[in-house]
Structure 1
């Protein structure tokens, strides 16, 4: 009995000791949200009020002080996120995660992002306001590194804090630009289709590019007062920082709103992770105010609003990457052929430091078109040198200091447009609305012309000179809409209007979300903020019911069993709404996988799994389901020649059999919430076990699906389960009739510090389609419980 008491006492003591230790660690490593902090370089006192969502409201006498403090508070909530994202483009993830990330580092360090950053930095005008505020922001971050708490992750992975430079900031934008691109996922597959099976197979896929389109129309009125693909997909799965995907936005003119003022809605689609992508802040000085959403390690917000104007963005999805097949000199492999003779490759030596391993050294060849991808991706089995030309590294980069500063410091629609005109890559749809009643959309990118009939989504000829860029398009020719007479502008990564009489090539998403936006906006004359909040969480597909009807045309219903007939009736009656209790949504997505597999996999082989989840596959679907005759229907691995009826019947019966095995015989039980989930993974939480529970947020049941407005993006695969990997990185609704009550929500929380009360406090609200207020009212802000004062040191 005494032994049992001693053992119990020991266990209770140990538990108490662990609890006390955890409490001490959590308090010592948590961010400071109240009190006083002295930092050097301040001209005056700066006061920061933290609202109930952890958003810092920074009040300063001048912008230099405000941005210095912003750097400090941004770092104390998101330093680990800053550390990860700055290492990607520089090829430095292996330093902290070991050999498993060498492939990632080799790719990104070879793309030329750092070299392009160096060129841009060398040309910076250090006298501009943008440069001075960026320097202040960096100084704030670096003072936190010196004097603030070290995040837990740094101890766990054994990485020392290093000060940040302006090159790190440029590298962040370089990573963002590459993750926006889609050519590296698609072009190699389309090239393989063309070279193995001929032009007929390719044409059936790409003919869909000009069909089933919702065009983002141009109108300007006056202002009012993608083997490379497979390897890259594996690399992306290892990234510890979210890739950028797509987005929705619409801006309603006063004539389209119930209160007669502009309403802006925006939800950029980005890979889910923990911490969330955006960090919110509200900066106010006597001559400047902006409530902004910043990426890690960026001083100026890419999304923002104040009392005068609001702006947002979506991915343009224009094609800004081209792959060229180079031709080596047979007598000298260090040279490659051009129309003017042979040129020498530029050789660049790179070294990757590897934690607990030997350094990896490799050499990159660079042609006039860009790096030879065979040197960067070991899995490429093409013996031809494949060069990647990317507009981001080909042209000077103005995105950081000029564009993001101009957008967040505009004083009119015209000055805002001047900032939007400076974007060269990545291509962006930049959305605008203001208190005067102006609405605008700009397709912002350095677009270019090539010779007629050149299809840029397969490999180009690098030797002849015939496939080169002929000219760049002036920004005024880019598709854009300013105060259009239909009283709204919108973007859902869909096809932009014609340029010089031709649709501009790109990796645009299918029309689903764009069509749904138009359907809803045309369904009623005027909208309130509440209407827009409901719309941004909409989960109805505008195209799925039609695709189902077209796909199942020709099914012999008399050949179906009673259970199959029930499934057939259920999915045909579906209105496209991805509700949690929808069995039809589950059936539809299984049918999609089986249809893609039976149609394309026999020809594509290993490339099928990559093609399956590209924009190209999605766009081809609406046409392929309607084709009675197609070169794709026949299975090349069988002796008989299959017809459309053979394929569709097999697709349907295989789908039903799979779902019965997966979810049970009763199709009423095949509800969408049984097969979908979302979890926001932390880079360390990916290890699983206790770390997963400690760092990750979720998993949660969710509503929505691929290509609905509440875009829950998942990969179709053979498993029958749909783990949502991307979606709205924030939902924002800004109403100029009630600007102080504009709202937003982010997927998890403001802070990336696991000991912060704001680490995951918005997660439930986000899943349920709720919002929190973006405060601008001075009195409300100053009622906040947490007040942090910064004083000159």
Structure 2
């Protein structure tokens, strides 16, 4: 049976590849690439818009108003990235199955749709439109009009990906008009994943069930605050729930937590120019096309440059003529699961502190290409949506006693966050900047600031829940009211600093606030290594130039190795090969370089050690979701839980030294199978390639090498030049997460600010502009986004003029 399924999938893959090849040939002949020059007349703008593409195809959009500039941004986003925008909004809408047949793509696409439709993310985005000010709504309308001006052409060629979608639908697919909610839902989807700890609550619950309260505390590093999760209170309420089913059934691309970024800002006291420097490189999942799109918006009173997000109406990360800003994720715990107790006398109701209430109920229909529609009945409680209702399984019967409901700021239907992000780009000073950030509800970001007047600062704006009890680490009883959100932290009490005496602000997702900060933010701070390393490098030099900031972003030292390698190397080697490797590792400078063997040995050793210590404690299935080595956790286990070093599968009782030595042997065996037995020829880069996978075509053998982009990469999980391995699958060291944008803003001369994205502006893999930044990215060679209109016309690749229709 499995062979038959495999052959069927192989045949489908070959057939799909053949179709794609034919379509690609057609587009090569006909030309589906958008024109970057010419004139068009369209309804929407108030006056003419000039779009000058510089020598890198970055659009400089010159307009008479911010609304017209944003119209132009919508137009160029659609030109270069519409298929990416379409997939993003359908992912968030829970409508991918309408255009990508699960019979060919896989059942996972239906599971993702069920989760998104169940969460009601797009409903919340649609409701949030009415919460915006008239000015913000006008900007969103202008952006949507720009997108629609491009897709509204009946003769429009939408590119290879959407042409394939059209073929699969037998010609029925046609893009729908872009709506303001389509832009808001992108921000909400990011919030859901960046602040996304609700599935971590499910994971901790499973760990609690398997190894008990004391064992769970080993995984949960102390929050540094005076309140601990009351683990035992939730244990009883969770007994009747199939946590495995809930955890696995909600695991998809839209719910997996993403984190990590670097940022720092220096006052003029620490720079060569005497004016601030601001550096930022957000770390997210790698892919083709990339997440960010470089652009410049110019008009009366504004000149905004930096990284925009296709689908969004502004510059998300960048600077204007007066201020600049950068983001890292705070890892705010803004998502809580509540165990709701069903009324034993009426299953259509649930219990609250004020008595029994009826569940809210809505019906959802998921249309499936090549399949039957799927009906969903979704319940809501006073806390939020019932996640049990997202899932279906033939042998699953939901216990009558309890269900789990999700409360999350990302699901707020009165979310003004997008307005805050838009207004940041128009701010002229610290007060304007703070006023803009007051609008941000989610996701919580550590936003660093600098301006041409010489000021620097940081604020972390969001709605931070104040819980009556507990910290949201695990699902809490919902029927008592004891663990409810009582209110939110007032804006003026959120983490903030302005012109600190040190003149240096650094964040790399590690702890933001001191232990005595009065409000609870998170237990999920990132490990401190990148933050510590950046702070060290910034303080080693008295005054930094721009290129000094680039050198720090390129740094490949892995500070975690200084903590754990001495512990590992104390264990006597058990054979000659291990002795040679231990000697090599004792002399290693801890730089994760692609052309060296030591980073590969280090990563493999840690991975095998973590498996040896954890897999037989929590089970292989749960271990798969915690395979990424965690050095503080490993050190805690070796120090505090030596009993976990014993391998339960053997009759002998192993010591921690035994496990460390055996893990090294397994790591060396793994590498030898892939790179041979000569240690001197092993290379990190042969295993650690940065994988920018095409969202649709990477799984098709005949297209993978052309559609996706891979290259050997320096760096690792804890280096400032972050390139985090997958630590799972057939290529566990493949880098799948890292910097997706790098920038340095120079407030002595903003035209000298530097920008970089990994690939290119175009999402059309046949375009010369789809990967033109690749060599510069790999060599840390950045570009500027500057120039007068005359200079851009003379040196650029084209000028497009958009005119309103003449009366």
Q: TM-score with structure 1 length normalisation?
A: 0.89
The within-5 A match list for 1:48-197 is: 48-99=51-102, 100=106, 101-125=109-133, 128-147=134-153, 148-158=156-166, 159-197=173-211
How far 1:626 moved relative to its partner?
Answer: 4.8
Query: Structure 1 pair 333/233, CA: closer, same or farther in 2 (3 Å)?
Result: closer
Change in 2 beyond 3 A, CA 1:167/1:768 = same
Q: Judge conservation of contact 1:714–1:724 (CA < 8 Å) in 2.
A: yes
Distance in 1, Cα, partners of 2:24 & 2:440: 50
1:482 corresponding residue in structure 2 = 498
Residue in 1 that maps onto 2:229: none
- Is residue 85–residue 296 contact of structure 1 (8 Å, CA) maintained in 2? no
Pair 1:392 & 2:410 matched: yes
From 526, 544, 550, give the equivalent of 1:527. 544
Instruction: Please tell me whether the aligned partners of residues 83 and 158 of structure 2 are also in contact (alpha carbons under 8 angstroms).
Output: no
Corresponding residue of 1:40: 43
Q: Residues 618 and 318 from structure 1, CA distance in 2 versus in 1: closer, same or farther, beyond 3 angstroms?
A: farther
Which residue of the partner structure matches residue 693 of structure 2? 681
**SS state at 1:418 partner:** helix
Whole-Å Cα distance in 1 between the matches of residues 280 and 688 of structure 2?
24
The 2-side partners of 1:522 and 1:792 are apart by: 54
- Listed one character per residue, the Cα deviations across residues 76-133 of structure 1 (whole Å, up to 9, x for unaligned) are 11111110111112101111112231111001111121222232223344xx322212
Q: CA deviation at 1:295?
A: 1.2
**Residue 281 in 1 paired to residue 287 in 2?**
no
Structure 2 distance, partners of 1:718, 1:122, is: 44
Partner of 1:473: 489
Distance 1:450 1:619 in 2: 31
SS in 1 for 2:274: coil
CA distance in 2, matches of 1:758, 1:308: 30
Report the alpha carbon displacement of residue 319 of structure 1 after superposing the two structures with TM: 1.0
Compute the TM-score of the two structures, normalised by the length of structure 2: 0.88
Contact 1:205 1:620 in 2 (8 A): no
Of the three residues 658, 664, 670, the one matched with 2:670 is 658
* Structure 1 Cα separation of the partners of residues 621 and 554 of structure 2: 34
- Whether the aligned pair in 1 keeps the contact of 2:751 and 2:785 (CA below 8 Å) is yes
Give the CA deviation at 1:728.
Answer: 0.8
Number of the residue aligned with 1:509: 526
* Separation in structure 2 between the aligned mates of residue 279 and residue 145 of structure 1, nearest angstrom: 19
Instruction: Provide the C-alpha distance between the structure 2 equivalents of 1:111 and 1:24, rounded to a whole number of angstroms.
Output: 38
Q: In 1, distance between residues paired with 2:691 and 2:641?
A: 42
Specify the SS of the correspondent of 2:548.
helix
Deviations 1:382-425 (A, max 9, x none): 8442222112224621111x212210110211110121232221
Distance across 1 between alignment mates of 2:326 and 2:744: 11
- Partners of 1:268 and 1:632 in 2: how far apart? 36
Aligned length in residues: 749
What is the DSSP-based 3-state SS (H/G/I as helix, E as strand, rest coil) of the residue aligned with 1:599?
A: helix
- Pairing 1:431–2:448 present: yes
Instruction: Report the CA distance between 1:57 and its aligned residue.
Output: 0.8
Cα-Cα RMSD: 2.6
Secondary structure in structure 2 of the residue aligned to 1:678: strand
Q: 1:24 to 1:751 in 2, by over 3 A?
A: closer
Do structure 1's residue 258 and structure 2's residue 269 form an aligned pair?
no
Pick which of 327-336 and 520-529 moved more. 327-336
The answer to whether 1:359 aligns with 2:373 is yes
- 1:714 lines up with 2:725 in the alignment: yes
Q: Which residue of 2 aligns with 1:409?
A: 426
Assess, with a 3 A threshold, how the Cα gap between structure 1 residues 370 and 588 changes in structure 2: closer, same or farther: same
Deviation readout 1:666-715 (Å, 9 max, x if unpaired): 2222221121112322223224233324432x221111111211111222
1 CA distance for matches of 2:728 and 2:258? 21
**Partners of 2:611 and 2:627 within 8 A in 1:** no
Does the 8 Å CA contact 1:27/1:755 hold for their aligned counterparts? no
**Is there any run of 5+ residues in structure 2 with no aligned partner, and where?**
1-20, 167-172, 226-242
**Quick one: structure 1 residues 381 and 571, their matched pair in 2 at CA, closer, same or farther if it must change by over 3 Å?**
farther
Instruction: Give yes or no for contact 2:331–2:522 (8 Å, CA) kept in 1.
Output: no
- Which moved further from structure 2: 542-551 or 627-636? 627-636
Determine if contact 1:233/1:610 at 8 Å carries over to the other structure: no
For residue 511 of structure 2, what is the aligned residue in structure 1? 495
